[in-house]
Structure 1
Amino acid sequence: MCGILFSLTTAQQQVDPELWQTLTEINTKRGPDSQQTRTISVGDHFLQFYSTVLHLRGRDNVPQPVCENGNILCWNGEIFDGLSIALGENDTAALMQHLTRVDTKNSTAFLKVISRIEGPFAFVFWQEESKRLWFGRDCLGRRSLLWSRNENSLVISSAAQPNDKVEWQEVPANGIYSVQLGKEDEPETPVLLYPWLQQEENPRLALPFPRLNRGIPALGTETIDSNNELPPPDETMQTAVRDFTNVLDDAVKRRVADIPFIDSVHSRPRVAVLFSGGLDCICLAALAHRHLPVSEPIDLLNVAFENPRSQNAKQQKKASGDGGTTNTATATVYNTPDRVTGRASVEELRKIAPERTWHFVEINVPYSEAMTYREHIINLMHPLDTVMDLSIAMALWFASRGKGTIDIDGAYEPYESHARVLISGLGADEQLGGYSRHREAFRHGGWERLISEVCVVTVVSS
């Protein structure tokens, strides 16, 4: 996860130095492998670019901003398909080569390059010859990009903290924005020139994937029978399952196959899985196993939070004589449902791949520690501020920190994961229909009702 920081100001109104310093510190934490600044002037305007890099792909670390022929690129993303990038090649450098070759007088040529990218991204790009600034996010908004705007300045940052003097908003993931400088008849404020639309509606900026398939499978209108059994899949459905498995396997391979070794110790885990023990994460772990050297461990990060209210309820129940007896192993406050399923699932992985070392990292978060870091996490997720945002952010933050314990011959030892890439199964249920409401939709309305339910959830979640 790299960091992007950019400002467009006039000579009369510069960015507050204290604010800029705070933003550089925040973005530096996102990119520990390199940090650089590039400043240019265009007429009465000053453009300042600051990028930080977390080296995740390719043999060489490519410092940013990348500059070529006056063009400047700040990139936080990963190109898994769409543009030709060889294994081991840095995608930032490859993208810069594509962008510098486009006809600067033809916006369509630039947009064709961007619309071909398959993968998450956010970027800021200065096109020197046309004196045009481009910036935006992928159509699903999978990389953070915030902006603060007024009549005299534009500040863009991958992350920010609450500030009484600055109002931050997410850059909408609805298309590519542009600012034209150097022309009196052009606006000097961001305008949404090209929204993400379906290919037939706007060939200049097509979505990198087709519309969601709403076709009814050729299985008639079966529903779940009285025994709660799904109808058996026919050959068409089995083919679709195989195709999906192949696509998912290829996606995992592209993500893990060329992660750089940061030091000379090639036996350290480079990959970790956010591991609740569910079907999604166990499948992703099994697929990652296919594409990593068997001598390299894989970290499975399992987070459990202490819940005082739950523990108080258990103590009261036990005091009233209704609690029964429990053994020491199950009495721990961290035996949450995800911990129980996680332990069971890692044993399944050890049966599937006994030659692999699977580090089941138990990350126990006391209530006091969660409260200690709560405000810090709220600042990190700003400007998002819902209860669900905080719940997800806290789980991800403590998991990505990677500090926990692992079981070594029956004894729990402190362990810290240094994996460069964390794989998550978030979104699998929304895409594949794994909730009970999907089963109920199928029960009451067959495939048509189920497809409608999945489509609605997918649109909302994206």
Structure 2
Amino acid sequence: MCGICCIVSLSGTAVNPSNLDESNLRRRGPDSSHQVLLTKYADKYSCFFSGHVLHLRGELTPQPLQDSNGNIFLWNGEVFDGVDVPDTDNDTQVMFQHITSCDNDQDILSLFSKIHGPWAFIYYQKKTHNLWFGRDFFGRRSLLWRFGKSPEQALCLTSVAEVHCEDVTQLHEVPASGIFKCNLSSCAESTSIKLTLYSWMSTTEIGQLENEQKIVSDGLENYLFRTEYGDGRLISPVTPLNRKIPELLAESNSQTLSNSVGLEDLKMLMSEVHNENAKSFIKVLSSAVRKRVLCLPRGKNVVTSEAKRASVAILFSGGIDSMMLAALADKHIPSEEPIDLLNVAFMMKIENTKIQNSSLKKKQASVSSHQGDAKAPGYFNPFNVPDRITGRMGLEELKCLNPSRIWNFVEINVQSEELEQMRQQYIAQLVQPLSTVLDDSIGCAIWFASRGIGMLRCSDEMKPYTSTSKVVLTGIGADEQLAGYSRHRVKFNREGYRGLLEELSMELGRISSRNLGRDDRIIGDHGKEARFPFLDEEVVSFLNSLPVWEKTNLLLARGLGEKLLLRMAAVTLGLGNSSVLPKRAIQFGSRIAKMENRNEKASDKCSRLQTDLIQ
């Protein structure tokens, strides 16, 4: 994880680093900070490069990297496959060696076509005066751009918005549509930015056209003076979505299932085909988790108490996605190392939980009694939100799965005063350029959860605890591929499998602009790296290869039909009732949505984000 930044000036005035506030970039990369100023090259242009490193792999490698030929490289990514990176090496150095050995544009495109893993990069190629930059196919790493109104800052590329940036409304996410090339010499002649886009290509022209529409939809027509498709080819790292539709929509006995879904109902559905698919899914997902939890700095002497710190944390609600990640992480993380389960709750107001929430109170009393913290009959704990309750239940399942593992269930409790303070101080800037009520709710929930500051039960006593993990696993990507959202069921009921496939295709196509850049900025603010096993290239390719009815069955009840393949895989791994929990979005499960204006719609522009930026 790194914070990277590049500012291009097309005037005779070089960029002045002293005028820049890089606080947000430094928070992303606390282990090393360096800058390189390329001043008035050929009296035509100048560039400022800034790199801030979170050290996770091999030897600490300060950025920007610069070689004897004047090439400069900034890398915010992880190479998990496609290019060989030995366990003891740093992937930034390996990538720099590869990219500087490229003889032409196609060599560079071929290099990035091979890489599996999240990345955003900036590369200055001195010989050709080209500035290359881009994000991976899914956009798992944030990269923003701003086209300046004056030649002094003609182009700015950055991982995150600067603190109190005056023209934050001009920041946009670099579309994850391909790789961009900017010839600085020709731009200096015309004093305007011109870009060439090398689009991700699939086996059909449709993929290219979809990417072109994606660029236009970002509203950047006034900033992109020229957008064209180069002659080189940038090959998509995943197989296309299987769009096969069944000729007969067999309803079998699914409609006879009651709305009361249980574990036995799920087990009854596990035919031989589903069992084989579930095992194959476990294999590929387990491999994705293994890549993301192994190559981390760990103490050599695992016996010492100092080494018994968690290196990996999981955003944990006790739902099917986070339970699967925890169960698979348990298979690969050293047995003596704890795993942090980060569970966030926003304080519920008593007046909001009256008679209509009697069932919630019963669940709270049951869980509180089990945990030994019920103070009196009818005791109401304002932090026993739905995700806290299912999280504790999930913890018990994981303890049964592996009793010898130390599972740190971190209870992160957030009150309204702290929410308002942290939103104004940090979160509003990190969410930008996104600005909806939904972005605010999810951004705040993920920021507090990934910070990892909470309470941990030790010997029947709650004690303060701060997670030491630098890697945070998140389950995003499961719902988008396995029809986990309620909108998938609505689409299926209206338009059948054809409509559902269109919706699933759209989900992955927009995940870079709706989710991943935001989540990367939010989690990275704590000097931690977000990792997304469900979006591993091999996982996506496997799921894309299956016909849709082998992944999900929306004729079945909630808690069963959506993400059916994942639920069957969970049962195969030995998980229990968590396998049939219905989907609950984090803003509702953590109860942050209940703390704000209830009349707001998720898609509304969030006044809290806008106001905080102005202040």
Question: Aligned pair in 2 of structure 1 residues 375, 16: CA closer, same or farther (>3 Å)?
Answer: farther
Give the distance between the partners of 2:429 and 2:394, measured in 1 at CA: 34
Match of 1:312 in 2: 351
Q: Which residue, out of 388, 413, 422, partners 1:339?
A: 388
What is the identity, as a one-letter code, of the residue corresponding to 1:37?
Answer: Q
- Counterpart of 2:200 in structure 1 is 196
Label 1:132 to 1:453 Cα distance change in 2 as closer, same or farther (>3 A): closer
Structure 1 letter corresponding to 2:443: A
Residue of structure 2 aligned with 1:226, choices 247, 253, 256: 256
Alignment of 1:206-355 (within 5 A): 206-216=235-245, 221-222=250-251, 224-227=254-257, 232-261=269-298, 265-308=306-349, 311-314=350-353, 328=375, 331-355=380-404
Q: 1:17 & 1:173 partners in 2: Cα distance?
A: 28
Does residue 422 of structure 2 align to residue 373 of structure 1?
A: yes
Higher strand share: 1
Q: Which consecutive unaligned segments of at least 5 residues does structure 2 have?
A: 209-231, 259-264, 366-373, 513-615
Name which of structure 1's ranges 233-242 and 84-93 shifts more when overlaid on structure 2: 233-242
Aligned to 2:211: none
How far did residue 94 of structure 1 move? 1.2
CA displacement at 1:414 relative to structure 2? 0.5
Which secondary structure does the structure 1 equivalent of 2:146 belong to?
A: strand
Q: How big is each residue's C-alpha offset from its partner over 1:214-263, in whole Å with a ceiling of 9 and x where there is no partner?
A: 23479963463222568945444433322221111111111111111379
| Whole-angstrom CA distance in 1 between matches of 2:445 and 2:300 | 28
CA-CA distance at 1:13 after TM superposition? 3.9
Structure 2 matches for 1:13-92, cutoff 5 A? 13-15=13-15, 17=17, 19-20=19-20, 22=21, 24-41=22-39, 42-44=41-43, 45-57=45-57, 59-68=58-67, 69-92=69-92
Would you say the 8 A contact 1:199–1:207 is kept in 2?
no
- Residue equivalent to 1:164: 166
In structure 2, distance between residues paired with 1:392 and 1:149 = 28
Distance 1:296 1:218 in 2: 50
Match for residue 361 of structure 1 among 410, 427, 430: 410
Identity %: 41
Q: Which moved more, 1:357-366 or 1:46-55?
A: 46-55
With CA pairs under 8 Å and 6+ residues apart, which has the higher RCO, 1 or 2? 2
1:56-135 to structure 2, matched below 5 A, reads 56-57=56-57, 59-68=58-67, 69-103=69-103, 106-135=104-133
Deviates more, 1:264-273 or 1:6-15: 6-15
Distance 1:148 1:365, change over 3 A: same
Q: Counterpart of 2:137?
A: 139
Q: Is the 8 A contact 2:110 2:234 kept in 1?
A: yes
Relative distance call for 1:407 and 1:55 in structure 2 (3 A) is same
Q: Are the counterparts in 2 of residues 281 and 424 from structure 1 also a CA contact under 8 Å?
A: yes
User: Is the CA contact (8 Å cut-off) linking 1:222 and 1:447 kept in structure 2?
Assistant: no
**Cα distance in structure 2, aligned partners of 1:123 and 1:85:** 17
TM-score, with structure 2 as normaliser: 0.68
**Aligned equivalents of 1:129, 1:243: Cα separation in 2:** 47
Residues in 1 aligned to 2:508 and 2:183: alpha-carbon distance in whole angstroms: 35
- Which amino acid is 2:257 matched to? N
For structure 1, the 5+ residue unaligned runs are none
Q: Is the 8 A contact 1:221 1:447 kept in 2?
A: no
Bigger share in helix: 2
Deviates more, 1:202-211 or 1:132-141: 202-211
Per-residue deviation, residues 73-123 of structure 1 (Å, max 9, x unmatched) = 1011111112222233211111111111111xx211111111222121111
Mapped partners of 1:299, 1:281: distance in 2: 12
Letter in 1 for 2:345: A
1:344 Cα deviation from its structure 2 partner:
0.4
SS of residue matched to 1:225: helix
CA contact (8 A) 1:162 1:382 kept: no
**2:7/2:47 contact within 8 Å kept:** yes
Larger mean CA deviation between 74-83 and 430-439 belongs to 430-439
The answer on 1:404 being equivalent to 2:406 is no
Q: Aligned AA for 1:212?
A: L
Output the CA distance in 2 between the equivalents of 1:72 and 1:25.
Answer: 22
Deviation at 1:2? Answer: 0.7
Distance 1:184 1:219, change over 3 A: closer
Residues in 1 aligned to 2:486 and 2:453: alpha-carbon distance in whole angstroms = 33
User: Matched residues in 2 for 1:46 and 1:303: separation?
Assistant: 45
Q: Deviations over 1:28-55 (max 9, x none)?
A: 1110111111222421211111101101
Q: Distance in 2 between matches of 1:97 and 1:407?
A: 48
Contact 2:14–2:47 (CA under 8 A) maintained in structure 1: no
Decide whether aligned partners of structure 1 residues 132 and 444 sit closer, same or farther in structure 2, where only a CA change above 3 A counts: closer
- The equivalent residue for 1:182 is 185
Cα distance change of structure 1 residues 81 and 184 upon mapping to structure 2, 3 Å threshold? closer
1:226 to 1:141, Cα distance in 2 relative to 1, 3 A: same
How far is the alpha carbon of 1:275 from its aligned partner? 0.4
Distance apart, 1:17 and its partner CA: 5.0
Cα deviation digits, residues 360-387 of structure 1 (max 9, x gap) = 0000001111111121210122221111
CA distance in 1, matches of 2:490, 2:156: 47
